[in-house]
Every structure is written in structure tokens, then in C-alpha cells.
Amino acid sequence: MSPWESYQMQHSRRTFLGRTSAGMGTLALGALLQPSLFAAGASDADSVPQWNGVVQPLHFPPKCKRVIHLCMAGGASHLETLDYKPKLAELDGQPMPKSFTDGQQIAQLQGQRDKLKCLGPTHAFQKFGESGQQISSILPHIGSIADDICIINSMQTDQINHDPAHTLMNTGTSIPGRPSMGSWLLYGLGSDSQDLPGYVVMTSVGGGQSQPIASRQWHSGFLPSQFQGVEFRSKGDPVLYVNSPGGVALKQQREVIDAVQQLNRLGNEKFHDPEIATRISQYELAFKMQTSVPDLMNIAGEPKHILEMYGTEGGDGSFASNCLLARRLAERGVRFIQLYHRGWDHHGDIKNGAAVTAKLVDQGSAALVKDLKQRGMLDDTLIIWGGEFGRTPMAQGTGRDHHIKAFSTWLAGGGIQGGITYGASDELGYAAVDKITHVNDLHATMLAQFGIDHEKLTYRFQGRDFRLTDVHGHVVQDILV
């Protein structure tokens, strides 16, 4: 047995941690970000530098620094929210013209093609702001920011079921295992935060069927795992084991981590394993999070009028509370923030369901835009609001089925024009017909606002250069400032 093998048996990291009073807490803390691989070529275990991204210099001048993605999971109906269709209202209850549906992909309604009937918008629309944008009456708070948002009514996707549609929205393809858009952004640019993850995810629920969201939606795929998203719990402790164990002072915790890091470095000197270098980096971030996370969650200093604007006291697990935390994360340099609200899947009783779900997300969404604007942060923060697909203009009983040919989203800040509606669907809201915008186009436009050419941000894997937009995508120039 070699001296190193003997040393390993007697002084392994597991043995060391097991004999340390704070061992299990430190182990859990070190595993928070599930480290695997660091950047390609990382080998110096004594000093793992802050990742500053591979796009150096930027391809063109950037317009924003961060993204907040407000994901309306389940497929928010464009016909109940952002796409006004008076003709559909006229045809309510009448047979759906076959010229729209013949030969088209339909989800659960596919066996009822001869019985399809139009379902008119279940809520009135009205004009908001000086721009006069048409927005549903169930979104009055979003209506109040009509002049700050760009509504895209010509979105399309390729996937008609929830999980693959989420995968496409997050990764640019329906093939599992590809990096999420937040991971691509971190890989390209790095993070501005020194003591928080660069990619944070939070979820809330309510108002309709709560489709599950798999954690692989914010995974780094074949990119180094340093770039994957970290889920914060929206109620209670946002990160488990972030606090020191009882009776263990921060100084003792520091000593334990220093000792573990020394063992890690000994291992790296022997094996030159980039996974060890990543672990060293993530232990340091996890230690810093012991201070930064409690500070993030302490909203005692937030003025009363801010809490009232969001409609939350904070820490209640609501979408509004998560929106407030998103602003605080943005202030602290987090690059990509993703808020899922699981409650937009309305196959039945869409009239009541859409109203309930809208009430849960409307105020927080608008408050986030207003709050960032008054702090001078909206100009360099890109907000994306929307689901993975839309809903059918045909009735599914009292609800609507999944729909991929047309849906709506809105963008704000980050160099996007406010007060405009871009693109259009046909008179029944079935298919996008003007300025069609695919999910890949949304990704290309997002990267462009960060100064990145989406065709040049690539990663070589299994003999091929991959990118977020795959072999598709174009920048939607008409919506840019």
C-alpha cells in the first residue's frame, strides 16, 4: 500500500467530518450547490478565482445585468390575460371552424375534432395607460404598468405537454439534459454576487392544477455544475443547514472548513480532480451564505409602503413574497432569478380559475416592476413574464386545453421598449400570424441584451458545439430600445 493510500484510510474527509462536532452540518452546507465540475482547466486548488465568464470581451454593448423570469407554470391562457379577441367572443358556443384545426396538433381534445366549439374570453379586456394596451380586467395591477411593458402576442413553441414545454422554455430544446438558460448566462458572464449563488429559483403555488416542476429545469446539463440553479425555499429557512449547528460559533465553523479545505487540497495535489477544486470553491460560498442568506431574508428594514405595494409581509411562501425577495436578490448581484407560480393549468372552470390565479400573481408582478423602476434598477434588469404555452380557443368543457400555436408573454426593462404590443395571433387566437416569435427567438433576444451573440456562446460536448438556441433563433430587434 502506498503512503498516500495509507493516509487516505486513516484521514479521509469522511473520517475527519465524522469525528468533528460540526461535521454533519458542514457536510450538508458544503453540499448545498451539489458541486461536480468547475471550469475546464481549473487545477490550482490553492486559489479558485471568481468565475467571470467566457464571453470576454462582450460581443456588443450590454443593456442589462440580470434577468428575473416570472414563470406562469401550467400554461397561462393568452385569451384570458393579454390577447384580446372580440371575434372569439362573437363565436362563443359555435362550432370551431375546421379551417383552423384540420391537420393541427391538439392535446387532450384530439379525439373530439368534430365537436369542437369556440369558447369566448371569460373576462373583459380594457385599455390601460397612455399606450392603450389591451389587458384583461383580472390583471389590473399589470394594467397599471402597461406603459412599461412590451406584450408579445405572437409566441410559439414546439411542445404541447407541460414537462417538455418547460424544458424547451428553459433550455431551448425539448431534449432533457441540456443546460438551462440561467446556466448559459452564468457560464457566459459569471455572477456579480460574491456571497450568494448566481442563479436562484423559488416556487409558489395556487389557483389551479399544480403541475410539478422538476429540478432539472434549472440544471446545468453538460456545463460544469457550478452553473446550475439553486432552489431557495419560499417559506421558512430558504436553505437548509445554512446556520451553524447549536453550540458551534462561526469561528469554529471557519476552522472546520479550513481543515476540510486543506484535506481537499492534499487530495487535489495527488489526483488533480477538477471536482475537488469545485468543492473548495463551493465550501467558501456556502460559508459566506451563513451571513448573506439571513440578511437576505430579514425584511424588517423594508418600509411599510413597499410591503403594501407587493401585498405581503414577506416570508409567507406567496408569489408576492418571492417577488420582493427577487428584488433583494437582484440588489445583491444575483445574475438569474426564476420565480415559478404553479397554478395556471385550467382544463376546467377557467373563468374562476384564471381569476383566482391572476389575483395571486398580479400585484407582485407589477410591484416588482415599479420597485425596480423607482430604485433605478429597471433599466438594467430584464423581466420576462409568461408560461410554457397558451390555451386553446376551443372549449374543453368549461376550460381550455394546451396550445402551442399562439401564446403571450410580456417583457420589461433591460433595454426593451415599454408600452408596445408586438406581433399578433389570428382573429380567434389560434395561431400566431404576424411577427411570429419562437421560444428560441426569446432566448436570442435575452442574450443580446447582455451583449452576447447567441450564435457565439457555445460549449463543446461529445464532439459538437452546443448553444442555448441550438440551430435556431433570431434577435427580435423591433422590441429593443
Q: Where are the domains of the chain?
A: 66-241+287-479
For the 66-241+287-479 domain, the top CATH level (class) is: alpha beta
pLDDT (tens, 9 = 90+) of the chain, 481 residues, equals 444 444 444 445 444 444 444 444 444 444 444 433 333 333 333 445 678 999 999 999 999 999 999 999 999 999 999 999 999 999 999 999 988 988 787 777 876 766 899 999 999 999 999 999 999 999 999 999 999 999 999 999 999 999 999 999 999 999 999 999 999 999 999 999 988 999 999 999 999 888 889 999 999 999 988 899 999 987 777 776 566 666 666 676 666 667 776 776 776 676 666 555 556 666 666 667 777 888 888 888 999 999 999 999 988 999 999 999 999 999 999 999 999 999 999 999 999 999 999 999 999 999 999 999 999 999 999 999 999 999 999 999 999 999 999 999 999 999 999 999 999 999 999 999 999 999 999 999 999 999 999 999 999 999 999 999 999 999 999 999 9
**Alpha carbon distances (Å) from 473 to 159, 172, 441, 457:** 16, 9, 4, 13
List alpha helices for 137-219, DSSP H: 140-143, 162-171, 181-189
pLDDT at 264: 66
**CA of residue 232 relative to chain centroid, distance:** 12
**Enclosing H/E stretch for 128:** strand 125-128
Question: How many angstroms separate the CA atoms of 65 and 53, rounded?
Answer: 13
pTM: 0.85
How big is the chain by its Cα radius of gyration, in Å? 24
